[in-house]
Amino acid sequence: MKKEYQELVLEATGASSIQIGAPLQDLWGGYGKIIRVYLEGCDDGRPSVVVKHVKFPSKADQGQSGSPSRWNTEKSHQRKVRSYQVESHWYQKYSTSKACQTPMCLATHSYKDETLMILEDLDVTGFDQRRTSVNDVEIRACLSWLAHFHGLFLGVAPEGLWTVGTYWHLATRLDELEAMEYGELKTMAGEIDRILNECRFKTIVHGDAKLANFCFSKSGQEVAGVDFQYVGGGCGMKDVIYFLGSCIKNDQCERRIPSLLSYYFTELRVAVSKEVDFDALEAEWQSMFAFAWTDFDRFLLGWNPEHWKISRYSNKLTKKVLAKLKN
């Protein structure tokens, strides 16, 4: 880490000295690293912070990505650049509640092709567990987080964020749409997108609410959310379908999702203002569940049609949506 960035950490934390730890994670596509920085001499006794250090790769290195190589384009690069601008703005301007915790931002700094976000270390605040698979209690903890997040921001304009949240929304994925095989879903993609975007009840969505972006307490009953590159406006079902798809096996979706969706709405009822017509909200978002899942399926079928998330369950929902649009 450059000396001036180390000085920024010292200034933001009030530490007398710091020690740079090993990288915790490489950012997607070679766009930087997440690093734990150990602190000494903080007035508040804080032992460490997490630094998200974004450094845009040169054009020659932009192909070092987890995406199929055909998608490592200038358009893809500009989308990632915008995503980190959005995330930095999110941490500077937005805050959440105890029911949907996120790391506190101590400072941000951008210069040329680099951005630094100095964040509270969630390991220190009790969210030191990561999961690659989850039980029912842990799934419900994440759904509760999403419900309270959506309830908190219901009706809030996504100022400085993506106008339409999620990394797969159609306006930013026209190349993937073009790559899809011709068929009804490709033809109706714009209509599905329009219906989702014209929901009466809009909130701010996390935009990448997969299991890997939740940090758990030791009990698994509480979580905190991270990674806000694609936070923006939209229907809350987009986050819900993406989260459920990230942690429930394809052959279990039909059996398990109805009760989990019911739990989400129970938590959402608690989270929203009493002035909200909750019955109308629930009815609309319930009707958008299949549309949101089909919208994500549209992205996958263009981006990587062999992806494991394309399943019998998702195909069934897509057929349901397309049949509804015909009537």
User: How is 225-252 classified by DSSP, letter by letter?
Assistant: E---TT-EEE-THHHHHHHHHHHS-GGG
Each residue's pLDDT expressed in tens, for the chain with a length of 327 residues: 888 999 999 999 999 999 999 899 999 888 999 999 999 998 889 999 999 999 998 764 555 555 555 767 889 999 999 999 999 999 999 999 999 999 999 999 998 889 999 999 999 999 999 999 999 999 999 999 999 999 999 999 999 999 999 999 999 999 999 999 999 999 999 999 999 999 999 999 999 999 999 999 999 999 999 999 999 999 999 999 999 999 999 999 999 999 999 999 999 999 999 999 999 999 999 999 999 999 999 999 999 999 999 999 999 999 999 999 998
What is the separation of C-alpha 261 from the centre of its chain, rounded to a whole number of angstroms?
18
Burial of 237: CB neighbours in 10 Å, binned 0-12, 13-18, 19+: buried
pLDDT of residue 28: 86
For 318, other C-beta atoms within 10 Å of its C-beta total 24
- Residue among 25, 4, 7, 28 at smallest CA distance from 16: 7
pLDDT of residue 202: 98
Please state, in angstroms and rounded to a whole number, the distance separating the CA atoms of residues 140 and 149.
14
For 253, other C-beta atoms within 10 Å of its C-beta total 20
Amino acid at 66: G
Q: Could you identify the residue written with the tokens 């220190």?
A: 124
Q: Could you identify the residue written with the tokens 């358009």?
A: 75
Cβ neighbors of 303 (< 8 A, separation 6 or more) are: 67, 68, 71, 173, 176, 179
CB 143 within 8 A of CB 266: no
Cβ neighbors of 232 (< 8 A, separation 6 or more) are: 86, 158, 161, 162, 163, 164, 165, 166, 204, 205, 207
Please state, in angstroms and rounded to a whole number, the distance separating the CA atoms of residues 168 and 210.
13
CB 296 within 8 A of CB 241: yes
HSE-up of residue 53 (Cα within 13 Å, Cβ side)? 22
Please state, in angstroms and rounded to a whole number, the distance separating the CA atoms of residues 29 and 61.
9
Q: Is 145 helix (H, G, I), strand (E, B) or coil?
A: helix
**Radius of gyration, CA atoms only, the chain:** 20
pTM here? 0.95
Residue 323 tokens read as 């049949």
pLDDT of residue 126: 96
Amino acid at 231: V
pLDDT of residue 112: 86
Amino acid at 104: M
Please state, in angstroms and rounded to a whole number, the distance separating the CA atoms of residues 286 and 174.
27
